[in-house]
Amino acid sequence: MSDLKTLQEICNELGVTRRAVQGYEAANLVSPARKNKYGYLLYGKAEQNRIKEIKRYQQFGFQIKEIKNLIDAPDCVVREALERQVVKRKEEQKRLNATIEDMNELIAKLSK
């Protein structure tokens, strides 16, 4: 049972906020394994791994409602969603690169 951790421990170890984990719970993405005798919520390895997976999807740019559809989906569904997200991120990267180029041109003009 030593793999059970409190919400505070989970937040510290996984780099998530208390509010984020509570949001995951509200969205039915994760739930605590149980409560201890003091009423603290405890999370086991499975819940910790699920929180890591949710956080990873968020880093990829998925919203909670999208994650709800992906987290337990077959690999083919996840792969298609990831492929779409890669295309979207590449488009964002192109726009960002163009903006940076514009900014550098303006900096060069202002430096003269």
Domain spans, the chain: 1-62, 73-112
DSSP structure class, residue 93 = H
Q: Could you read off the pLDDT tens digit of each residue along the chain, which spans 112 residues?
A: 468 999 999 999 999 999 999 999 999 999 999 998 888 899 999 999 999 999 999 999 999 999 999 999 999 999 999 999 999 999 999 999 999 999 999 999 998 7
CATH of region 1-62 = 1.10.1660.10
For the sheet containing 5-6, what is the strand order?
A: 5-6, 41-43, 34-35
| pTM reported for the whole predicted model | 0.83
